[in-house]
């Protein structure tokens, strides 16, 4: 009740003041009480309190009047973390009792372990927001589309399909959409699940004849499904999901899906689901470029309250290119190490540490990279390589891609066939054998394979 009123007040004020002013002063304010004697507005600190009392009081009075409320007086009270602060507490503070070990942990303890993520209803983690998502050229399309969806769920881009490699921020974006919607439309029912959860719940539903399964997902306003690829090959679940999808889409409910591949490349996805996934917006989330990686490192370091030197940031960003999760891992390792040893996390420390990060693990490549590299080498589109055409200029690159998947990643033949959108694994066996033989005989093929391999590990 109070909340809705305050929302409309804020909405009106936002139009009349500058964006900076609004975010500085009006964020984290709340109407906490309203009765005959007046209204009470909670503000975050003394500065805001003074500012409201002197500068914004008349404006707020005016807007409240428009909403049919003419309070005798408006009082502002400072509330932080949802509770009032007091000065005259008991001399020894109670509450938050800490044991000696927790408080004065021995210096070998890693101080950077963060609190376990707080989950709230709907499976959303409030820590993922648009504010702390770092945008660069590799992900700005995905970011913009996600914001558009969060602003107008169910209207634009339905479904929104995000795909890309591990640790590039798909989950972060999807969670941010969910969190944003729950914030702006508190009544909205937002459900976030992984496709695996969906599968498991569906199986329980069949096995134990549990009721309410279809209702659970059909009565939501926003359905977010992470890692859709796991639904591949599960016919009955796909059918159930198909109906859920149709139901939601028809009622203009927003659906957001993520996967590691575009719908076309998930081999055992039924045709009707595939075409549905493709009818909204399909966006690739790519590996962040150098500048974005630097920005991510700086943001993460300052979250831990540490200022990293430009040199150190560039060194880390230069050496870890594969994914953001790994980047964060290296940063955490650096900070923990520096804290443990009581030294500053500078470039020499980073070099000492990353030295072993780099040498101890093999170059990390993915099947997607192999296919892309191969296609690029022969100046083909990935779609063509994975497509169904059998012209010679496509067939050979396709076979080389299969060969590389086998030789570099040791994938199984059915997996290889799946990666290239083939159903039959014997095609893969044949291709790999053919290229193996050709490498021994054909100079041209040998050179091409070597060149692609070199670029893969460059």
Partner 1 sequence: MELTVTQENLARALTAVGRVASTKTQLPILSNILLRTDKNRLLIAATNLEIATTQYIGAKVVKPGAITIPARLVSEFISNLPNGQVDLKVTNDNLHIKSGNYSSIINGVIADDFPELPTINESSSIRYSVKTEDFKQAVSQTIITASNDSTRPVLTGVYWHSHEGQLVLAATDGYRLSERQLVATTSEVSAIIPTQTLQEVMRTITDDGEEVDILFDETQVRFRINEAEIISRLIDGNFPDYRQLIPKKSDTTVTIAKPEFVRIVKIAGLFARESGGSINLTADEDNKNLSIHSIASELGENTSEATVKVKGSGQITLNSRYLTEALSVIEGDEIEFSFSGKISPCIIKSTDKNTNYYHIIMPLRS
Residues found near partner 1 in the complex (CB under 8 A): 20-21, 23-24, 45-51, 53-55, 78, 80-81, 85-89, 91-98, 100, 103-109, 111, 114, 303-305, 340-343
Task: Give the integer Cα–Cα distance in Å for 253 and 242.
Answer: 14
Surface-to-core class of residue 97, CB atoms within 10 Å of its CB (0-12 exposed, 13-18 middle, 19+ buried): exposed
Q: By C-beta, is 117 or 212 nearer to partner 1?
A: 117
CB of 89 to partner 1, least distance (A): 5
Number of H helices, E strands in the chain: 21, 9
Structure tokens at 215: 């209702």
Q: By C-beta, is 89 or 389 nearer to partner 1?
A: 89
**CA-CA-CA-CA torsion for 396, 401, 406, 409, nearest 10 degrees?**
170
Return left, alpha or beta for 123; rule: phi > 0 is left, psi -120 to 50 is alpha, else beta. left
CB of 182 to partner 1, least distance (A): 24
Q: By C-beta, is 309 or 421 nearer to partner 1?
A: 309
CB of 53 to partner 1, least distance (A): 8
Q: By C-beta, is 212 or 305 nearer to partner 1?
A: 305
CB of 22 to partner 1, least distance (A): 10
CB of 88 to partner 1, least distance (A): 5
CB of 115 to partner 1, least distance (A): 8
CB 373 within 8 A of CB 449: no
Structure tokens at 31: 């109407």
- Cα distances from 42 to residues 28, 34, 64, 77, 193, in angstroms, run 8, 12, 15, 5, 35
Q: By C-beta, is 197 or 349 nearer to partner 1?
A: 349
CB of 304 to partner 1, least distance (A): 7
Q: By C-beta, is 214 or 304 nearer to partner 1?
A: 304
Please give the distance of CA 73 from its chain centroid, rounded to a whole number.
45
Q: By C-beta, is 78 or 357 nearer to partner 1?
A: 78
Give me the phi and psi of 101, to 5 degrees please: -65, -40
CB of 113 to partner 1, least distance (A): 9
Listed in sequence order, the residues at least 6 apart from 223 whose beta carbon sits closer than 8 Å to its beta carbon are: 191, 193, 217, 244, 248, 253, 254, 255, 256
Is-cis flag, bond preceding 243, omega within 30?
A: no
Helix pair 170-184, 140-151: axis angle to 10 deg: 20
Task: Give the integer Cα–Cα distance in Å for 203 and 198.
Answer: 9
Q: By C-beta, is 30 or 289 nearer to partner 1?
A: 30
Q: By C-beta, is 65 or 340 nearer to partner 1?
A: 340
Task: Give the integer Cα–Cα distance in Å for 169 and 37.
Answer: 49
CB of 27 to partner 1, least distance (A): 10
Give me the phi and psi of 212, to 5 degrees please: 85, 5
CB of 175 to partner 1, least distance (A): 21
Q: By C-beta, is 17 or 203 nearer to partner 1?
A: 17
């Amino acid at each position: 009740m109070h909340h809705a009123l305050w929302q409309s007040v804020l909405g009106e004020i936002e139009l009349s003041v500058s964006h900076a002013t609004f975010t500085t002063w009006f964020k984290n304010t709340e109407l906490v009480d309203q009765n005959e004697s007046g209204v009470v507005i909670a503000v975050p600190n003394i500065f805001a309190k003074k500012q409201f009392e002197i500068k914004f009081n008349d404006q707020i009075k005016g807007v409240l009047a428009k909403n049919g409320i003419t309070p005798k007086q408006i009082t502002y009270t400072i509330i932080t973390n949802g509770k009032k602060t007091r000065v005259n507490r008991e001399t020894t503070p109670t509450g938050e009792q800490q044991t000696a070990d927790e408080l004065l942990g021995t210096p070998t303890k890693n101080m950077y372990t963060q609190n376990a993520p707080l989950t709230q209803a709907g499976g959303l983690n409030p820590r993922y927001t648009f504010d702390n998502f770092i945008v660069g050229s590799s992900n700005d399309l995905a970011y913009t589309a996600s914001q558009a969806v969060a602003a107008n769920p169910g209207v634009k881009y339905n479904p929104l399909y995000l795909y890309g490699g591990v640790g590039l921020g798909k989950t972060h974006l999807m969670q941010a959409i969910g969190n944003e919607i729950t914030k702006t439309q508190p009544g909205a029912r937002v459900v976030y699940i992984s496709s695996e959860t969906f599968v498991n719940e569906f199986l329980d539903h069949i096995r134990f004849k549990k009721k309410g399964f279809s209702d659970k997902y059909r009565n939501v306003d926003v359905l977010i499904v992470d890692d859709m690829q796991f639904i591949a090959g599960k016919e009955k679940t796909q059918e159930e999901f198909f109906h859920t999808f149709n139901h939601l889409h028809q009622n203009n409910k927003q659906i957001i899906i993520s996967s590691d591949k575009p719908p076309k490349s998930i081999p055992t996805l039924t045709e009707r689901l595939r075409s549905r996934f493709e009818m909204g917006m399909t966006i690739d989330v790519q590996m962040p470029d150098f500048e974005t990686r630097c920005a991510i490192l700086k943001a993460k370091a300052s979250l831990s309250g540490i200022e990293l030197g430009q040199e150190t940031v560039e060194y880390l960003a230069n050496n870890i290119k594969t994914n953001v999760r790994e980047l964060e891992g290296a940063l955490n390792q650096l900070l923990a190490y520096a804290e443990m040893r009581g030294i500053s996390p500078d470039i020499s420390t980073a070099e000492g540490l990353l030295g072993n990060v780099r040498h101890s693990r093999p170059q990390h490549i993915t099947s997607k990279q192999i296919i892309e590299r191969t296609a690029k080498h022969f100046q083909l589109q990935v779609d063509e390589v994975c497509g169904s055409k059998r012209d010679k200029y496509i067939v050979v690159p396709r076979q080389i891609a299969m060969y590389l998947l086998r030789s570099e990643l040791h994938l199984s033949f059915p997996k290889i066939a799946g990666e290239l959108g083939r159903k039959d694994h014997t095609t893969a066996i044949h291709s790999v054998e053919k290229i193996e033989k050709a490498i021994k005989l054909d100079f041209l093929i040998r050179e091409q394979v070597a060149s692609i391999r070199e670029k893969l590990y460059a």
